[in-house]
A = this chain, B = another copy of it.
Amino acid sequence: MNITIADPQPHTMAQVLKEILLFPANGAGICPVRDVLDRIGDKWSLLIILNLGAEENLRFNELRRRVAGISQRMLTVTLRNLEADGLVDRTVYAEVPPRVEYRLTDLGHSLTGVVIGLTNWATAHTPAIAAARARFAG
């Protein structure tokens, strides 16, 4: 699979951004972009989506082991939010001991494309950012 983002033609890129800014209201507080970030911008959502996207489904403690450092509380909280947003499906099996499986919904899967875009940019430009920070600090 390859993810292609067309080489940005500076001028047209600005046009696209203008259209985005015109949309409903970015001047106001309700911008679609802010909406996504309010969803995945917290500390754990993205890592959870990444992990669920990599496996068909994961149980609570499997997920907890993979997302090292997350507390039980925050895993629960974050999963509930993702479930509420329709990004994650939660299936409880009536067994003892209890088994709960989490998987991405179609909506959740559609987000992974965006996440990969973010990741590609991040890995490509993290060095440049680090350099900029060093320059700015010095």
Contacts and interface: CB of A to CB of B under 8 A. Distances in A.
- The prevalent SS among residues of A at the interface is helix
How many subunits of this chain does the assembly comprise? 2
Interface string A1-33: 111111011101111111011010011110111
Contacts of A56: 14
Contacts of A109: 8, 10, 13
Interface of A: 1-6, 8-10, 12-18, 20-21, 23, 26-29, 31-37, 39-43, 46-47, 50-51, 53-56, 66-69, 83-87, 107, 109-119, 121-123, 125-126, 128-129, 131-133, 135-137
Given A13-B112, A32-B122, A114-B121, 15 more contacts: A1-B6, A1-B13, A2-B6, A3-B6, A4-B4, A5-B114, A10-B109, A14-B54, A33-B50, A33-B122, A39-B129, A85-B129, A86-B128, A86-B129, A111-B121
